[in-house]
Chains A and B, each alone.
Chain A
Amino acid sequence: MTPLPEFAGGSLTAVAAGVPPGSPWSTYQSAARKLDRIPAESVPEPLRARVAVLGSFTLEPFLSVLRVEGARAGLWIETYLAPYGQYLGELLDPASGLYRFRPHVTFLAIDGDVLWHQRWTENPPLLSEPVVGGLLTPLFAGLDVFDHAGTGIVVVNDFILPRRSTEGVNAFRSKGTFAHTVAHANKHLRLRLAARAHTFLFPLADLVAQVGRNHAFNWRTHYRGHVSWSDALMGAVAERYVGFALAALGKATKCIVLDLDNTLWGGVLGEEGPGGIALGHHWPGSEFVDFQRELLDLQRQGILLTVCSKNNEEEALAALRTHPAMLIREEHLAAYRINWEDKASNIRAIARELNIGLEHMLLIDDSPHERAWVREQLPELRIPEMPADPSLYAHWVGSLSSLIVLQHTAEDAQRTRQYQESRSREAYRGAVGSLEDFLRGLEIRVEIDLVGENSVGRVVQLLAKTNQFNLTTRRHDEPTIRRRASASEWRIYTMRVVDRFGDFGLTAVAIVSPGPDVWHLESFLMSCRVIGKSVETALLARVAADAREAGASALSAEFVDSGRNQVAAPFLANHGFTVGDDARWHRSLGASGPEWPGWVESITPTGVATIAARVES
């Protein structure tokens, strides 16, 4: 067998670099064929995204654009396209190609015409809102089947008015216009998608508006061959689809690193003083206030804001604390490095402090020089080009596709506070002696429970996002977790961690397959925020105690090297497991052990919800 050529990490982005955004479709097509020539099997698993597209019009040409935009973000996108016009059939049939493909993300690209065209010609106008809502029923029947038998998330676009109405100037007086039909359909779609945990609305109308309706559709290819989207709309949709794919794979941005002068405010603080910088209700300055507001919206969704800036620290902090128009305050920042050292080292230090991989961080800095320098030093970091004109900052930040946050839990909203508490913990560590003294002083308490209705969302999120302390890095979607939660052949443990400085929330999960003799750890993972407290030992001790009580004599486990989980590599050996001939790790249970750490106190689960509802409904 010929060995596979070695996959060069930069080859995906290099192919995409030859296709500037806005290129004609033929350029995308040619680049996609270059991607075809990279053998799929040579691409490392973490870079591969399986993306299914189900459409009501011709989408083959779009797949090339999608693959190239994926490559631009460092993803190798494998695509599955449902046969023409078969989107409902594919959803309704668990034996269809869609289900066999096991997608990470499924996009439904539907043209509203297919839903109501027949009705429209038979019986205009569609006066009744329930009738319009009823047209969506088959679609939701399909989504119900997918909920039970499918994988990953589903993203459905909203409906659009593709052209100007010819219904006349009196149409606004009637409820039976095309615009009403579209509005009703979108209202039903939004309400019904919002009630489901892992379906999302794709803002196609918004993208069409951004591209411009006159440029978003190619009516010639639409009528000649049902290729409705123009080259420009294909590019815009693909870029946004890639954002969803990044998020579904746990590769979205978790932390934004911000510069200060001419980024968060206008002017140079050190030269102009706090009264001289541009920040306020009037121009110049109002554009920076708007930009800060957008950043705070992202922070509320759980994306961390940090500052890395060349300023005098005291002066900059004073501006953040006391400037009357400042929206981003010190308490919104999870970390900061304000000094005169080089930015790459400072960003590395922020990454270490927050325990976040550089590939999950994004730099916003107005200086092309700094961006170029950091890009050279830290190629993993996301460093988008940004507009030179601050009036465009607020618009620009909304277009960054790596800033999509799928799950929004109570933990997300609190995350910045948790990192700030961690700052106090670090200060405390400096003041005490041995590690055990330090840990005792933290007054760590854990609450171990089996997964329940109010923790399912957080468990799925942890499975999707935890890269470092994760023995097997298996991602499971919500239907899988729900199935397992109610099946006797699985036990899903959750652990909440609290210490004297604050509540980390639900931060560890163990998925155990309890056999009669051997209990197997299918997944065992812990958020990086609680690494270094030995709470993982507590969770393992609890699993072992339960196994012993159930009559089992041994535990087994696996360690699957993902390239990111080195911190978890010694865990099994350190807890008495030895590797067997089957490459699995085994540990006889005996009479006792692994021992519960003496400095960790166990709290009895209260049954009170610690997880708030996920997506707003």
Chain B
Amino acid sequence: MSAGDERAARVRELLAEVLDVPLPSIGPGFSAATAGSWTSLNHLMLVSQLEGEFGVIFTNAEIGELTSFDRIVSALAQHLEPG
């Protein structure tokens, strides 16, 4: 598994834990628009868990955009694979 795949797997786990949704339902296309439990408070906690887990700090602009599995994975890639 590549580093990117491992990251994506861990993101899926975190989303499942924080939002209380089954792991298989999370993948490309999973987003705040479709997950009812993706409330503003859960979003706040999700962002802080991602920051803690991956050792990154998201900017305010990024935080507003982290509203789907795909966007989270790509934002993490930008932080962790610079250049």
Contact = CB atoms under 8 A, between A and B. Distances in A.
Contact of A24 (B20, B52, B63): B52
B62 interface: no
Interface stretch (A45-53, A218-226, A413-421, A592-600): A218-226
B68 to A, nearest CB: 18
B49 interface: yes
Contact of A221 (B14, B48, B57): B48
Interface residues of A, number: 17
B61 interface: no
Interface string B24-61: 00000000000000001100111111011100010000
Interface stretch (A27-35, A318-326, A555-563): A27-35
Contacts of B18: 26, 29-30
A220 B51 contact: yes
B44 A27 contact: no
A231 B17 CA distance: 15
Contacts of A61: 41, 45
Contacts of A25: 45, 48-49
Contacts, number: 43
Given A25-B49, A220-B57, A33 B20 contact: yes
B53 A225 contact: no
A224 B16 contact: no
A182 interface: no
Interface SS, B side = helix
A289 to B, nearest CB: 41
A443 interface: no
Interface residue tally on B, bucketed by range? 10 to 19
Contacts of A221: 44-45, 48
Given A27-B17, A29-B17, A220-B57, A231 B44 contact: no
A604 B67 CA distance: 76
A225 B40 CA distance: 9
Nearest to A221: B48
A225 B14 contact: no
Interface in A131-186: none
Interface string A210-232: 00000000101100110100010
B48 A58 contact: no
Contacts of B16: 30
A111 B18 CA distance: 26
Contacts of B17: 26-27, 29-30
A225 B43 CA distance: 10
Contacts of A218: 48
Given A24-B53, A231-B52, A225 B41 contact: yes
A221 B52 CA distance: 12
A245 B20 CA distance: 27
A231 B45 CA distance: 10
* Top 9 closest pairs, chain A to chain B, by CB: A30-B17, A26-B17, A225-B44, A33-B20, A26-B49, A221-B48, A26-B18, A26-B14, A61-B45
10 contacts: A25-B45, A25-B48, A26-B46, A29-B18, A33-B20, A58-B41, A61-B45, A218-B48, A220-B57, A224-B63
